[in-house]
Amino acid sequence: MRILLLPFRMIWGFISLVLNLTGLLLGIVLGLAIMVIGLVLTVTVVGAIIGIPLMILGLLLMIRSLFK
**pLDDT tens-digit readout, 1-29:** 788 888 889 988 888 888 788 788 888 89
* DSSP code, position 44: S
Higher pLDDT, residue 38 or 17: 38
CA gap 28, 26 in Å, rounded: 5
CA gap 4, 9 in Å, rounded: 10
pLDDT of residue 17: 85
- The answer to whether the CB of 55 falls within 8 A of the CB of 11 is no
- The answer to whether the CB of 29 falls within 8 A of the CB of 19 is no
Span 44-64, average pLDDT: 90
Taking the complete model, does pTM exceed 0.85, yes or no?
A: no
